[in-house]
Amino acid sequence: MTSTAYTCKLCRRPGVAQYDETAPISDLSKWLPLLHCNHCADWLEAKNRLTAKIAQLCRIIQVGQAWHPTKPEQVRERTAKLTSAADGLEVITKAMAGAACNYFKLTNVWEQDFADLLAENPAQHPRIITDYLRRLSKMVKPRQDQFKETL
């Protein structure tokens, strides 16, 4: 195994990656800018997985909102599906908030408004998720090493 220094693509922290010399890597310099530290890679994996689940539930809500049944049993079915999807959004948004707060090293900050906005505007779920995560990232205190003075 050979070690090489890299900078995490997301948090810009330095790290050391190990790779096998026999691996078919033609140009290591092209791979180094793509590397993430374990902390950031775990966050990206969780964010992508949870965003996909939110998108799936939002699609169910969109279909349910567009469906206007006339028979009573269809109305009950529609109501049950919408309620189930809204409850699922609450669970998934709590998981998203937990993962984001873990990544940003914050106390768990989950707001009911996050799930409510997604349920009310399912077509806008990418923007709603992005805005929520942006607000969380702004709550992070700046690291001391970001403000080192160079003399």
Is residue 70 within 8 A of residue 44, CB to CB? The reply is: no
One digit per residue, pLDDT tens: the chain, 151 residues? Answer: 778 888 888 888 888 888 777 777 767 777 778 888 889 999 999 999 999 999 999 999 999 888 787 788 888 888 888 899 999 999 999 999 999 999 998 888 888 999 999 999 999 999 999 999 999 888 876 654 444 444 4
Is residue 128 within 8 A of residue 121, CB to CB? The reply is: yes
Reduced to 3 states, what is the DSSP secondary structure of residue 22? Answer: coil
Query: pTM of whole model > 0.85?
Result: no
